[in-house]
Structure 1
Amino acid sequence: MPIKEGIRTGGRSARVQESVHAAVRALLQEQDRSTLTVPQVAARAGVTPSTIYRRWGELVALLADVALERLRPDTAPADTGSLRGDLLAWAEQYLDEMSSDVGRNMMRDVISSACPGYCTRILRSQLQVILARAERRGEALPDLDRLLDLLVAPTVFRILFAEAPPSLEQLHGLVDLALA
């Protein structure tokens, strides 16, 4: 079931979402995610299980929604004064956040949901900010899809499926490759 994006902000719906998200975050601090259940989340959030099922459909969609909330950036990517510097700063922060256990679990939750494209929209938005700044500075710009294919995709693959995430040296190489 896709994450519902058209839900109005504020009001009862927003309070329910925040309560349920807070319950999930708290329960994941206390127990392994494999033991988490919708009735536990509902009890902690002060809602009925049917409220969760009606809104999210299943536990995996709820976990993905909580993960996506955490994936949304709080601030714009760092402005270092150059496209390469901005991409390095962004990529290093992304690697640091996503290669943690919490980051890996968030990515797995999103991948297992019916809406992994939402993650791409978040990444595109962040990278577009970096590219727009570089364009204002008159720098040559790579294609946005090139950044996704040559920087983001191998980083995510190595975080999720390799024995180790990319090293900083490898990450810097990916940035240079994407800019070549």
Structure 2
Amino acid sequence: MQSKNKITPSLTSLVAVSNYKNSEVVRYYGNMNINVAAKSNSRSVGRLSQKDEDKVRLCICNLFIGTSMYFDNVLTQEKADVIATEILAKYEYRQLRLEDLVAICIEIKESDSYKLTPARILRHISDYVKRKEKIVISNAINNSQNHKSDLGESDIDKRLHNSIRHLDRTNQEVVKGRVNIKKFYK
């Protein structure tokens, strides 16, 4: 009988040894999407490349070459290296995690296109970054609203009334300070 508590290996270790076969990655991370990747706590590609850039480059190349096997033409190592270089060179792409790249690969695989080129992959990455930014902002706003409602102050008028700017005593202090300033300059 198998244990229900399966240990999921790290994505870096799976992709680095995958040798262009994504079967293990698909087995453990096949349900990855933009929402799951946005909630991931792993390190970004930029942070990982500070320690071992060659390993990160290998991981990116393996992911995209493995994804290209679903299409008519398989990416060569040079084309995959162009994609990895572009990801590691641009600031907005360096913030992506390997989970994001897996989600991108899954989206590319499930898309309607039949020909895969580095330009198409980079365009998809650019669109993904924009969508992820919107999702992260939306999640932050939702978390803020949930936190405010947990504090019992979900009514905006009530929160504004209780803020320091709208207390009567504060307004009286401001008026008193203005009167003192006018007297000082007369």
Answer yes or no: same fold by TM over 0.5: no
Whichever of the two has the greater Rg, that structure is: 2
